[in-house]
Amino acid sequence: MDMCYSLPKLRGLYLSGNQLSGKIPTSLGKCGRLEEISLSFNEFMGSIPRGIGSLSVLEVLYLGSNNLEGEIPQTLFNLSSLRNFELGSNNLGGILPADMCYSLPRLQVINLSQNQLKGEIPPSLSNCGELQVLGLSINEFIGRIPSGIGNLSGIEKIYLGGNNLMGTIPSSFGNLSALKTLYLEKNKIQGNIPKELGHLSELQYLSLASNILTGSVPEAIFNISNLQFIVLADNHLSGNLPSSIGTSLPQLEELLIGGNYLSGIIPASISNITKLTRLDLSYNLLTGFVPKDLGNLRSLQHLGFGNNQLSGEYSTSELGFLTSLSNCKFLRNLWIQDNPLKGTLPNSLGNLSLSLQSINASACQFKGVIPAGIGNLTNLIELGLGDNDLTGMIPTTLGQLKKLQRLYIAGNRIHGSVPNGIGHLANLVYLFLSSNQLSGLVPSSLWSLNRLLVVNLSSNFLTGDLPVEVGSMKTITKLDLSQNQFSGHIPSTMGQLGGLVELSLSKNRLQGPIPREFGNLLSLESLDLSWNNLSGAIPRSLEALVSLKYLNVSFNKLEGEIPDKGPFANFTTESFISNAGLCGAPRFQIIECEKDASGQSRNATSFLLKCILIPVVAAMVFVAFVVLIRRRRSKSKAPAQVNSFHLGKLRRISHQELIYATNYFGEDNMIGTGSLGMVHRGVLSDGSIVAVKVFNLEFQGAFKSFDAECEIMRNIQHRNLVKIISSCSILNFKALVLEYMPNGSLEKWLYSHNYCLNLVQRLNIMIDVASALEYLHHDFSVNPVVHCDLKPNNVLLDEEMVARLGDFGISKLLTETESMEQTRTLGTIGYMAPEYGSEGIVSTRGDVYSYGIMMMETFARKKPTDEMFGGEVTLRSWVESLAGRVMEVVDGNLVRREDQHFGIKESCLRSIMALALECTTESPRDRIDMKEVVVRLKKIRIKLLVI
């Protein structure tokens, strides 16, 4: 029955924050008495019904945070009673009518931010005389900012950032006496900052960052006593900071003016702005001495003045400002790089805040030694002291920095050995010790650090053989050991480094063959083995390295034919010079290979006999031995079936049917890839759609992963777990047939431009995942199941957007007596619990940690491997540091300050992030369990759904 016929006197429709989907009913236009419509934060699609424009008494229209598209109906611009017009966070396009405010004279709030609106901002906005909030950010508006907006005497907030606006800031904005927020960042605005803005005595938030503004900042702006945030970064501003800056801004919390052309000195009075939490003056032309009383800023969390021309103190080699910063107990980031500070690092550096997470003091012309006291900063995540003139040895106290992820001390004159303690920094991701005078053996424990992504030890005097443990660095992407004195053979275990992109072993004393296992390094783009004593042939297995763009094996003792397929078709003679025994195509400017009667290169014949034939014969003997043993054992066992179905009475699906279902596993049907294999969409003979997960049997552990997933998924039944339909296992093929999830993964919905999840949808997904984990950890059986690889890519969404947890390839079924177990199986970097990544300890609490990281990512829309966390801070520490300002953390698409019920939504997001932090505490025993997580998330959802 039509709602408006049933409720003819309906005055308000309040259904925001639900999971309503489909199209907004066109019949709403018949509810002639409606004064308020609130349908925000749902899943409505399609266009806005034109009939809503016939509701002549409508005052409030909330349709934000849906999936609405198309143009805004012109009929809506005839609602003369409308006060609140909120359509933000949709996919609406088109232009705003030129006479918008002639038709809507009573508008108080306009929120159309985060859409795809185009054209110019209508000058008629000056006729919305009652307007208090104007939100047009993150659209595609062009042209100038209408100067008539400066006539809106009652306006309090202006959001025009994230467009393509040009021209200048209207000087008429200086007339907006009630203005509290002016947000114009990320446009193409030029010219000077109008001095008239200094008249805005009520202004609290000023953001003009990322434009093309020039000239100096009007001094009057620094006299607005109510200002809390000044954000002018990344412009072309010049001039000096006023000497009185510290006396007129008592409320200022953030001063961000980096990325400009400011000159002169940092005024000493800046130390009097006691509420400052963030001060960033980086990337300017500032000179003079760093104020020595910065320690007065007791609330300071971030201090950045890197990339200037600042000096230390007068007539002393000590750096007093560093000593004074020991008073800043909340300091998390200290970025002072690329300044001629000179002097020595004081041992008082170790007295800085225990909250300190990032120090970047590279390229500061420091002399002396690295102070041992730095080991006191136990929460340090990034330490950058590179490109200075430091001497002495690496202090052994660095081994105390257990949270350290990035260590950069390259480009100094540090000598001695690499301390054993560095090999125990289990969280280390980036290690740069290059261009020093280090000598001796590399600690064997370093090669076993399983979170390392980049290691550069080049240009030192390191010695010894490369151990087989090098193959333990499973996550490594770049490894540079060049220009040292390493000797012995290249270990074949390097072929296990499947993620390796760049490898340089040049200018060492390595000998023996190039390992054939290098053909497994399918991600490799650059390989430099030049200037060694390598011998033998270039393995033809390297032809499989389709990503290889650079190869240098020159100045060795290689022999035989140069391969000619795969990437070798693009290499030139420079890759192979000074190897007397090589032969090949004329384009390499070397002798052509002579062929014997069989067509085999004579140059390679003896090598083949020695290095291939003998191992093949040995392998044949070994295989024969194994077959004999198995035959003997089979007498007492039933013969194995060619097609084995591990899951009881589930439907039998043959290998041949899967081939037909997936169109021969063609690329067109591929819906996902991973280290364990590929997933294809398939249509079975009965018409049902399935997902076929084919395991890559060349991947070490694929058989074990297949068996583990079958074992775990044999009996589990839960609405939030991906259902398994069948499995297929023959000699060289293993696959799982799974329920098809038409809406793809959570990762797709978070990071694809064509998809969007609102606040309630994200919360529902996290409740679904938590419910799945609660079942696995507590309700499945006596023995808990640990998933081990929680991440958005393993959370799939069905047709109803219900989340299903999948990919149990490395999961663990704990025995009755164990709560933790040692294993070498790895999850995914960024999501692994500290005890899992460092020691291989598996427990349900490790899943809780990964879940907490994923929850932060889901609501912040930031990957834990995002560039902003590249060794400076982690996703967790970033969220924790901004716990009191959650709106700076969460995805801007979720909620805006001008939204209705903003306070409730902000409170819910704060509770969500607090819960995520409780899931990710350092100590496993301090983490809450998934039962409690489910209860608390459901309480938060109730709070959201009642608004």
Write down the pLDDT at residue 619.
47
pLDDT computed for residue 938 by the predictor: 87
Class of 655-739 in CATH: alpha beta
Mention every residue, 6+ apart, whose C-beta is less than 8 A from residue 351.
323, 326, 373, 376
Residues with catalytic roles: 789
The answer to whether residues 21 and 42 touch, using CB atoms and an 8 Å cutoff, is yes
Beta pairing, strands 302-304 & 67-71: unpaired
Burial of 893 (0-12, 13-18, 19+ CB in 10 A): middle
Per-residue confidence (pLDDT) for residue 684, from 0 to 100: 82
* Class of CATH domain 746-945: mainly alpha
CA-CA distance, 759 to 752, in Å (whole number)? 17
Return the pLDDT at 600: 55
Q: Whose structure tokens read 């070994």?
A: 622
Helix spans in 45-193 (H): 100-103
Q: What angle do CA 754, 759, 761 make, to 5 degrees?
A: 70
The label of the residue with tokens 């901002």 reads: 121
Averages of pLDDT over runs of 10 residues in the chain (947 residues) are 72 89 88 91 92 91 93 92 94 92 91 94 92 95 95 95 95 95 95 96 96 95 96 94 92 95 94 95 93 93 94 62 92 94 89 93 93 94 94 94 94 94 93 95 92 94 94 92 95 93 95 95 94 95 93 94 92 88 85 68 45 44 43 35 35 77 80 75 83 73 63 71 81 81 90 85 94 86 79 90 81 51 58 73 87 95 86 85 85 81 86 93 90 89 75
Q: What is the rounded CA–CA span in Å between residue 580 and residue 31?
A: 90
Residue 812: the pLDDT is 65
Is the whole model's pTM more than 0.75, yes or no?
no
Strand arrangement of the beta sheet that strand 557-561 belongs to: 415-416, 437-440, 461-465, 485-489, 509-512, 533-536, 557-561, 581-583
> For the chain, what's the residue count?
947
CB 812 within 8 Å of CB 835: no
Looking at residue 840, its pLDDT comes to 63
Among residues 31, 35, 61, which one has the least CA distance to residue 48?
Answer: 61
Whole-angstrom CA distances from 68 to 39, 135, 284, 325, 601 are 11, 18, 44, 51, 67
Element (H, E) at 255: strand 254-256
Pseudo-torsion of CA 747, 751, 755, 757, nearest 10°? 70
pLDDT score for 669 = 81
- Could you tell me where the beta strands, DSSP code E, fall in 762-909? 785-786, 795-797, 803-805, 812-813, 821-822, 841-842
Amino acid identity, position 323: T
> Containing H/E element for 534?
strand 533-536
Name, in order, each residue with C-beta under 8 angstroms of 514's C-beta and a sequence gap of 6 or more: 490, 529, 534, 536, 538, 539, 542, 553, 558
Q: Give the bridge partners for 182, in sequence order.
A: 158, 206
Q: Which two three-digit tokens encode residue 659?
A: 């081939």
**What is the reported pLDDT for 782?**
59
The strand ranges marked E within 424-532 are 430-432, 437-440, 454-456, 461-465, 478-480, 485-489, 502-504, 509-512, 526-528
Residues 6+ apart with CB under 8 A from 407: 383, 398, 422, 425, 428, 430, 431, 432, 433
Angle at 768 between CA 765 and CA 773, to 5 degrees: 130
**3-state SS of the chain: helix, strand, coil percent to 5?**
30, 20, 50
CB 63 within 8 A of CB 90: yes
Q: How many helices (H) and strands (E) does the chain have?
A: 14, 48
Nearest to 174 by CA among 147, 145, 213: 147
Can you give the residue ranges of every domain in the chain? 655-739, 746-945
Angstrom distances, CA of residue 946 to CA of 18, 895, 904? 9, 16, 10
